[in-house]
Structure 1
């Protein structure tokens, strides 16, 4: 097994780690190992853009054809000088 030293940890962070370790009945070292193990066991981000991710979820549902209403000519501007 490898050994790792982490320097310059903020005092508040160390205190939170100590409290969390005590709540779980572990040493700070074991708690830090567990936090690292949990964080690194998660699936990495897919790297897909948001558009591609949305398209991948919606595409299997099929296409939808929308009828667009006919465009009307622009109305005349209102005369505010009167």
Structure 2
């Protein structure tokens, strides 16, 4: 059974950007939000080696030391350092 969801106190700028995105995709705001939620829910699938390789290529990582530097920077950012 479908359930109604509600987002309260959405910042004006976010709503404006979502409306623009919906228009680009020829959807209503509600249709765009549902598409975003569906895509996010599908992302819980297991990551494949091909997914990892695509992300490595997207990041432009070529050596283990570059990979370590990215991991280190991400860790430091999460720890506030």
Quickly name the TM-score band, shorter chain normalised: 0.5 to 0.7
Q: Tell me the TM-score normalised to structure 1 length.
A: 0.51
1:20 and 2:31 are equivalent in the alignment: no
The alignment's C-alpha RMSD in Å is 1.7
Count of residue pairs the alignment pairs up: 46
Q: Tell me the TM-score normalised to structure 2 length.
A: 0.52
Give the 5 Å matches for 1:54-69. Answer: none
SS class of match (1:12): helix
Aligned to 2:52: none
Q: Answer 1 or 2: which has greater helix percent.
A: 2
In 2: Cα distance, 1:26 partner to 1:44 partner: 26
In 2: Cα distance, 1:8 partner to 1:44 partner: 31
The structure having more radius of gyration, on CA atoms, is 1
Q: Point out 4+ residue stretches in structure 1 off by more than 6 angstroms.
A: none
Any unmatched runs of 5+ in structure 2? 48-81
